[in-house]
Amino acid sequence: MALGPPPDRAPDRAPAGSRLFAVALRPLQAFFRLEAASGLVLLGCAVAALAWANLAHPSYRAVFATPVTVGIGGVVARFSLLQLVNDGLMTLFFFVVGMEIKGELVHGELRTFPQAALPAVAAVGGMVVPAALFLAFNAGGPGAPGWGIPMATDIAFCVGVLTLLRGRVPRALVVFVTALAIFDDIGGILVIAAFYGTGVHVSWLLGAAAVAGGALALARAQVRSAAAWTVAGAVLWAALHHSGIHATIAGVVLGLAVPASPRRPPRDVLRELSAHAGALARGGAEEERDQAAVTGIEEGLAELDAPLTRFVHALHPWIAFGVMPLFALANSGVSLAALDRSQLTGGVALGTTIALVVGKPLGIFAFTAAAAAAGLARLPGGASRAKLLGVSAVAGIGFTVALFIAGLAYPGSPRLLDEAKLGILAGSLLSGVAGALLLRATGPVQAAGRAPRLTRDPP
């Protein structure tokens, strides 16, 4: 929706109040169009959480321990505010992630094997090597369950850094990192489902499978109703919650089920619209008839919009500027004054930091270079190895999913969880700085393209 004056009205004829309103909102409008905006908001919330936790730690803990009751009629669920964010709102985050993955597999960068092979190999390296480094510090100890923490890449922060350095990063490398992050998401989802549950209850799992089958039936019927998909998602969430698999996986399953193609072939719809518009132009002017025709054209255009596209466009501003920042605010607070020396140098904090700063770029770079040397694929855009190393370092920024897995790995150990948060924050900061410095040290690209717009950032 446009915030300025309508296109058919000259700006100087607009009322003074409207012009002032448009001028005041223009900086905000420009801000929310930036690819880096989501990452900047996320960073602001992380900093705010750290400040709040260190200046008024009791109130920080008390706010997110506030009880929340959600229910309809006699069906009532009670959570703390922290649980509502982590188990409820993050399901929406994973729903969008699932739709993004499906969109890339059907229409995007992962739809063919040659396009998907190199980022898939790079993602394997970026998951295996950091996990192994983390275990080198924690194997056999109480921190061992956190091996999945350094596996994920936070695409919002990565795009923020790469956008600031767009003159030194070929567009092909940005696409490569985007695809790599999607494979990271897939790996993280599988790890959460397989290793961070509470023990499987077969009857509930079978019920969840039945609901997932119902979601596939909705997809085959090309159901566009948001209400129908919401009900299916809520029932699937409840079944998975009781099955022992983390309930946020419901969002991924549902996202993968949403239809990625329109109900009718676009060519057929466009042919009908063209014929209809031609007949309308030849028929003379009748306002009532013309308005009905315009309504028919709008309905025809709506048929070109796949449910997946419609849901992603509706949800991702709320995810990027609502759910993810709230998650960062609720999970990034660590009271540094309350940490003792053993926590600052503990295996979880050091293991997480080194896994992100060293393990992530090492795994991505080594696996990508090996795949290119073996002839599997060329380096993206013919980029130099120095630029590949730079973006590999940036991919060491692990935040949203890393914090999420940390909460699952240490549910009954606040001490280890604080260590993990400290390692995630330190490792992500160092990775961003190291990657930016490496890329700044390389030469500018010949024709710096605009970084591709991601569905997890606002359109």
Q: Mean pLDDT, the chain, as a whole number?
A: 82
Q: What is the pLDDT of residue 148?
A: 95
Q: What is the pLDDT of residue 453?
A: 42
Q: What is the pLDDT of residue 200?
A: 80
Q: Tell the CATH topology of 37-197+246-261+306-440.
A: Na+/H+ antiporter like fold (1.20.1530)
Strands 75-80 and 67-72, sheet pairing? antiparallel
Lowest mean pLDDT among 3-12, 320-329, 375-384: 3-12
Q: Model confidence over 2-38: pLDDT tens digits?
A: 333 334 444 444 454 445 545 555 554 554 455 567 7
Q: Answer whether residue 300 shows pLDDT above 60.
A: no
Domain boundaries, the chain: 37-197+246-261+306-440, 266-302
| pTM > 0.85 | no
CA 38 to chain centre: 10
Q: Model confidence over 39-84: pLDDT tens digits?
A: 888 889 999 999 999 999 899 999 999 998 877 766 777 889 999 9
Query: Which value, to the nearest 10 degrees, does the dihedral of the CA atoms of residues 144, 324, 108, 262 take?
Result: 130
Compute the distance between CA of residue 80 and CA of residue 63 in angstroms, rounded to an integer.
9
Lowest mean pLDDT among 131-145, 166-180, 358-372: 166-180
CA-based end-to-end distance of the chain: 12
Give yes or no for a contact between 319 and 93, defined as CB atoms under 8 angstroms apart: yes
